[in-house]
Amino acid sequence: MYEFREFHIPERMMSGITRYIEHGTKPGSFLEAIIINDLSSAIANADDENIGNIPAYVAYFYNHAPSSCWGSDEKMHNWIDRKWAEQHDEEKL
């Protein structure tokens, strides 16, 4: 679990964040909205627990994630493509 002030990211959500950052696994709709910086979609797709913890997600990506993996739709798709390419290059070795 990640905590920021009185907000937190539930442990069940951290695994999706980790898979996205480390492997480029496409996230679900809520996490995707967070990653691409689309507040209205994040609110629309949040469950009851996550809607009150959106500041923790923003803080996590701002403070702990590579800046090239979040902030826009283009950055997210480039990140996913990059990670896919890295994994396939490793398989060739």
Rounded-to-integer distance, Cα 42 and Cα 47, Å: 10
| Token couple for 35 | 């990653």
Q: Is the pTM above the cut of 0.85?
A: yes
How many structural domains comprise the chain?
1
8 in Cβ contact with 2 (< 8 Å) = yes
**In which domain, by residue range, is 63 found?**
2-92
- The SS3 assignment for 63 reads helix
| Token couple for 45 | 């797709």
* The total number of residues written for the chain in this structure: 93
pLDDT 10s digits, 11-33: 999 999 999 999 999 999 999 99
- The SS3 assignment for 65 reads coil
pLDDT value at residue 21: 98
The residue ranges of the chain whose pLDDT is under 70 are: 90-93
